[in-house]
Structure 1
Amino acid sequence: MGDPGRATDEDRLARAGGDADGRDDRPLVEPVPDAPAAVADLGGETGLLLADYHAGIEAGLRYERGVELDSAADERRERVLDLLARTGADRLVVLGDLGHRIGGAGDAETEEVEALLSAVGVPVTLALGNHDPGLADAFGDRIEVTPPGGARLGDVGVLHGHTWPAPAVLGADVVCMGHEHVAVRLEDEVGGGRAEKAWLRGPLAREAFAAAVDLAGVEWRDPELVVFPAFNDRSGGTWVNVDGQGFLAPFLPDALAGGEAYLLDGTRLGDYRRV
């Protein structure tokens, strides 16, 4: 089973801090085994990156769909704390949609985020997502919030993905995003199927941004795009290998023409369109 985070060409190995002889060839962004989160070298800091936390989702599902579910806020928080302990990360980076409610932060969201921020013990960066403006207003003095187009942390670009990336993000070596809630549909020998969370990774295609992002001042470094699965288990997902379930980001799928899918345990599935 291959390492979904390991680059193979000399240039990317060098940018990740190693060389073609295998010396210190650790990737800039490496998924945590069996978790919808990754560790990233942010240049002087180690970041724990995750996407689509969707605090307060149970209250949202009750209001939006009439679905009654007990809150899993404590379980979500404990999963984050466990990952921070396992990885020794210096910073928590949420790739958008820390909250669930659009248009303002509700009580369930603010209570859950307050408890999370009080527990993590490390600085928190939020790449602003389409669900986040209310939380950004409520917690902006305690969270570093990026513009909607994201920001660059060391050699890693971070954004949610609901808008076009900022030029600086595209000048990074690796670009990380959420928003898509990536999942794949897998079938067994008798026709049964199940959905599994998945990562998408592959070269970022410059031409996909030519008409929408001013790249004149960007040093293009042939970045890799990493599309994260959703951290929240109740937020649903888009089956990227099923016809009719299109992407949400304005630059996908064009920007990831050569992307491959990986399960959370690192299993490489190959071209995500042919899984």
Structure 2
Amino acid sequence: MTSAADTLSGKSHRDENFPVASWLMSARNRGPILAFYRFARAADDVADHATLPPARKLALLDDLGAALTGEGPSDPQAEPLRHALRERGLSVRHALELLDAFRLDVRQNRYADWDELIGYCRLSAMPVGRFVLDVHGESEATWPASDALCAALQVINHLQDCGADYRDLGRIYLPQDVLAAHGATADMLAAPRAAPPLHGALGELARRASELVGQSRSLVPQIRDLRLSLEIGAIHNLARHLAGELERRDPLSEPVHLGKAGFALVGGAGVLQGLLAQLGRTIAARAGRRP
């Protein structure tokens, strides 16, 4: 395979577990975010390709990075994001950090403990949130709460897909020390139903994801852009709901996902919460301006 385009899976932002640049965002800001997503999707497809040898995957990821920075030949998977970054005066930093996450996927398939997993999330998830905030001109003061939410989303995805990650890619993102503490083993991930030790480990990790969601509660009130705050409100509520479901349910025997109706209901409740948070912010700001 000569380029990243040869590895594309055909997945789009509509196939993700959480909203990506939904209609809640303005058209002006959706463009750069979708360009970022498509770049990330191309890199992810390279890292997850079933037959490419690791050395070739790493070379293709390097090619994507060089195309994005202008240090190598143009690539159709990188050019839209390169154009968007130049047009909006945005940093390439977040996209390059994301490439490091996919390089890690090629080189590493086990994580020793929670801290090591969060280290992966710092590359694979947190840069996504930071890029979205940058596109909307939000302050870096929003980054800590955004980082917590993005890490929660990543852990939730790992829990939802733990069986497929193991069967199809040989990867286990679940921290090894948590599995060992519950008496769970890798082969349990290949079973049609989670054995009690694995179910206990998954429940513990879901509780940790819930804690991360809780740490991100302050994000929506910090956001100045109304439409972005509503999008984040929906995502936050979806994450809170799914983390709670994963504490109780078994992702090996039943997909822990929301259907269209549930997605709309839970996400819509988050949008309403975002509206209320913005209303409270506006009232507080006006009260502060009174003589």
User: TM-score, with normalisation over the residues of structure 2?
Assistant: 0.29
Question: Which structure has greater strand proportion?
Answer: 1
User: TM-score, with normalisation over the residues of structure 1?
Assistant: 0.31
Question: Which structure has greater helix proportion?
Answer: 2
